[in-house]
Amino acid sequence: MTARAEYRLLLRQDNADLRLTPVGRRVGLVNDERWNRFSERREAIEMVRAGRALSDSYRHYDDDAKEQVEIETRFAGYIAKQERQVQEFRKLERWSIPADIDYASLSRLSREARERLAQVRPLSVGQATRVSGVSPADVMALTVHLREIARAGAGAEGNDCV
């Protein structure tokens, strides 16, 4: 995990197993034995989260489950905020960028973002979020600019995210 990971609280190494094992199972990469171990661990975590004592069959998960719940509790507010940001960014997929936008004139964007966006010419804010060299701060600056255009009535019709 690097400092450049947008949603690093959601993409922590301690929860990778909880996030990715169900995906692996759906695509056939997780066998029954691995899935059963994962299911037991997840159930132990749920028991600790609910404040219930772990039965003998789950004792070997005791410390792991407690640690996972502790981490989730410690970061709960930050994680909730980041999940709201993820939902907001999903809305950006539908938000179109005017074809004639002059990225060079957007001083709020980093130099690298201005260059990369002018080169790639994304059609939507969602596409802009995936351009290498464009940070979340650059995307927010771009959305501010698009809202200003919309308020001025200069052609942001159809953008339901304004």
Q: Which of 104, 128, 98 is nearest to 118 (CA)?
A: 104
At residue 6 the predicted structure's pLDDT band, cuts being 50, 70 and 90, is low
Q: Would the pTM count as exceeding 0.85?
A: no
What is the reported pLDDT for 155?
47
Longest CA–CA span in the chain (Å) reads 66
Please write the tens of the pLDDT for every residue from 20-60: 999 999 999 999 999 998 898 888 888 777 776 655 555 66
Whether 105 and 65 share a structural domain: no
Whether 104 and 78 share a structural domain: no
Pair 116, 133: CB distance under 8 Å: yes
* Cα–Cα distance for residue pair 138/144, rounded to 1 Å: 10
Whether 72 and 100 share a structural domain: no
**Cα–Cα distances in Å, from 83 out to 7, 9, 12, 134?**
9, 9, 14, 20
- The CATH number for 110's domain is 1.10.150.570
Whether 40 and 81 share a structural domain: yes
Structurally, the chain folds into a number of domains equal to 2
Secondary structure of residue 51 in the 3-state scheme? coil
Please write the tens of the pLDDT for every residue from 50-107: 776 655 555 666 677 778 877 887 888 888 888 888 888 778 778 899 999 999 999 9
- Give the domain range for residue 21: 13-86
Pair 17, 41: CB distance under 8 Å: yes
